[in-house]
Structure 1
Amino acid sequence: MPNRQKGAILMCASAFLFSAMQIPINMSGTSIPIMEQVFFRNIVTLFLSFILIKRSGGSLFGKKENQPLLFVRSLFGFLGLITQFYAVAHANQGDVSTLMKLSPFMITLWAAVFLKEKIKKIQIPALLIAFVGAAFVANPAFNSNLFPLFMAFLCAFFSSVSYTLLAYFKNKVDGMTIIMHFSTFCVLACIPFMIFDFAVPTLKELLMLILIGVFGGFGQIALTYAYRMAPAAEISIYNYSGIVFSIILGYIFLGEILNMTSVIGCSLVIIAALLTYIFSSRKSKTN
């Protein structure tokens, strides 16, 4: 199987796992502070990456010369999580979702400028189709307070820088090392906040927090390796598949209503992904 296809599958798997993560986040209620949720989101990943690296004999945190950019990747990834959690908790979900879906456009820009990736003819139209699909699903009114909307935009920005660096580290830093670095950074950054604002979870909430960590951990692994399989600008569009997964999982587990605009939006997202996949496959065979 070509690497581009592997990357598309991994990105879709990541989108599914992150969508599944939203279910226990929703079900854990509002009684668990954000930093505590982010801590559990990363502590499972930390232990998992530590075990896998030790078994393979790899490096836990990478070479000295890679530390500055690894730190930037971890910092921006952490800030992306914090702004995401804040925006989701303080603004209309449609507004937040639409603004955060600007990330693939930013990734395409960063990849062209800093990674010298060529923007293919199909990528911009496909991104626009997918974004319109996301807008149909989210049905934004943009009547939320300005600050949470700004946080959602910052989430898209931080995430785009973080994901572009994942592509940059291809053939430079092992994927599990990147994950270990990121999860360790997040866990250590959360501890000071948790000391002063820790909520003892109930048994149900503890189970939800563990599920957040499991889904988030495996989603992070799939995401990291997806960006090692194909160009960042090309692979990022498959992240829109999370919209489809979120609607299906929300309908099944949370009883959310499936309306016509959601169906139209999902269809547009699927069309955009198929256009990118078909064009990339044909281009790969031609080359």
Structure 2
Amino acid sequence: MKEKKKALAVIYILLSALFFSLMNMFVRLSGDLPSVQKSFFRNLVSLVFAAAILKREGAWFSGKRENIRYLLLRSGAGTLGILCNFYAVDHLVLADASMLNKMSPFFAIVFSYLILKEKIRLPQALIVGCAFAGSLLIIKPTEAVFHSPAALIGLLGGLGAGIAYTYVRVLGTKGEKGPFVVFVFSAFSCAVTLPYLLLYFQPMSRGQLLSLLLAGLSAAGGQFSITAAYFHAPAKEISVYDYSQILFSAVLGFFVFGQIPDALSWIGYGIICSMAVAMFLYNRKRTL
């Protein structure tokens, strides 16, 4: 049963990586709009989607009062992660923003250790570290990442996402339903960004609105998938698969934007795929 749950977790996190890659593609296609406005529409679609699922399944809050704190912590950290990531995308080159956002698997492992007391074995830490090194070959951060204020905000976004994923895991172990976790997070994020939207709303074309709605739909798929992933397995065992988002982004970049990876990028793809296989084999060996 444990092995089956782990396999499901890997499938879910791969799905989330695909959905979030599609989200980034649609956000980029939406053009020059404020990052907070993009964030609002991204979460609004997720909110409607989650509410529909909750109504269909008749699921709601578990009733455990201690979970309210974890829901708010997950929502606050997740909102911070989104806003900081979108700000970094708007103020840094896309490669730098992507690198900073991909710090989230590291932070998820660290906070899983601090909050959940999940032990981190050396091979697992080394595999995730090698995967991150592979991602650096692909995104090639510039020197601006070391002295730009936006870079610090981008890193804060990765931190927020890592904390959020940890509390998703906490809520999963405490019996909260995935759609409700997504619903609370989406509602919280919309409430936080709504005042800015009302004060500084920028008119959009139909194409921009459609792109943001599709980004929101993709984000909803990503949120449900990654919530399910961390419900099924610890971060130390599945976080390496989150780097598959870079591979999906490369494919979409080629077909949608005509971006062709260079030799270093192909080496990076090979390293990431190898580390995913290594993590799979290591976890399988430990369960035999």
Identity %: 32
Q: Does 1:167 align with 2:164?
A: no
Counterpart contact for 2:70–2:171, Cα < 8 Å? no
Map 1:199-238 to 2 at 5 A.
Answer: 199-238=202-241
Match of 1:7 among 6, 9, 29: 9
Displacement of 1:92 in angstroms is 2.5
Tell me the residue number matched to 2:53: 52
Counterpart contact for 1:62–1:177, Cα < 8 Å? no
Displacement of 1:170 in angstroms is 1.4
Tell me the residue number matched to 2:277: 274
Displacement of 1:36 in angstroms is 1.5
User: 2:180 is aligned with what amino acid?
Assistant: T
**TM-score, normalisation: structure 2:** 0.94
Secondary structure at the residue paired with 1:275? helix
Q: Does 1:18 align with 2:15?
A: no
- Listed as ranges, the gaps of 5+ residues in structure 2 are none
* Structure with the bigger percentage of helix: 2
Counterpart contact for 2:168–2:231, Cα < 8 Å? yes
Counterpart contact for 1:46–1:180, Cα < 8 Å? yes
Secondary structure at the residue paired with 1:258? coil
Q: Does 1:155 align with 2:157?
A: yes
Following the alignment from structure 2 to structure 1, what is the Cα–Cα distance between the partners of residues 234 and 92? 33
Counterpart contact for 2:35–2:90, Cα < 8 Å? no
Change (3 A) 1:98 1:192: same
Displacement of 1:90 in angstroms is 0.7
Q: Deviations over 1:77-125 (max 9, x none)?
A: 0010000001111112222222222222221111122212121332111
Map 1:187-198 to 2 at 5 A.
Answer: 187-198=190-201
Change (3 A) 1:108 1:171: closer
Q: Would you say how many aligned residue pairs link Structure 1 and Structure 2?
A: 284
Q: Deviations over 1:253-275 (max 9, x none)?
A: 11112211111111111111110
Tell me the residue number matched to 1:28: 30
Counterpart contact for 2:70–2:170, Cα < 8 Å? no
Counterpart contact for 1:61–1:181, Cα < 8 Å? no
Following the alignment from structure 2 to structure 1, what is the Cα–Cα distance between the partners of residues 95 and 49? 33
**TM-score, normalisation: structure 1:** 0.95
Tell me the residue number matched to 2:111: 110
Tell me the residue number matched to 1:37: 38
Following the alignment from structure 1 to structure 2, what is the Cα–Cα distance between the partners of residues 215 and 60? 25
Change (3 A) 1:169 1:60: closer
| Stretch deviating more after TM superposition (216-225 or 231-240) | 231-240
Following the alignment from structure 1 to structure 2, what is the Cα–Cα distance between the partners of residues 75 and 112? 20
Counterpart contact for 1:129–1:268, Cα < 8 Å? yes
Tell me the residue number matched to 1:84: 85
Moved over 6 A (4+): none
- Listed as ranges, the gaps of 5+ residues in structure 1 are none
Counterpart contact for 1:53–1:176, Cα < 8 Å? yes
Following the alignment from structure 1 to structure 2, what is the Cα–Cα distance between the partners of residues 211 and 280? 36
Displacement of 1:62 in angstroms is 5.5
Displacement of 1:47 in angstroms is 1.1
Following the alignment from structure 2 to structure 1, what is the Cα–Cα distance between the partners of residues 187 and 213? 17
Following the alignment from structure 1 to structure 2, what is the Cα–Cα distance between the partners of residues 99 and 35? 19
| Stretch deviating more after TM superposition (119-128 or 134-143) | 119-128
Counterpart contact for 1:35–1:194, Cα < 8 Å? yes
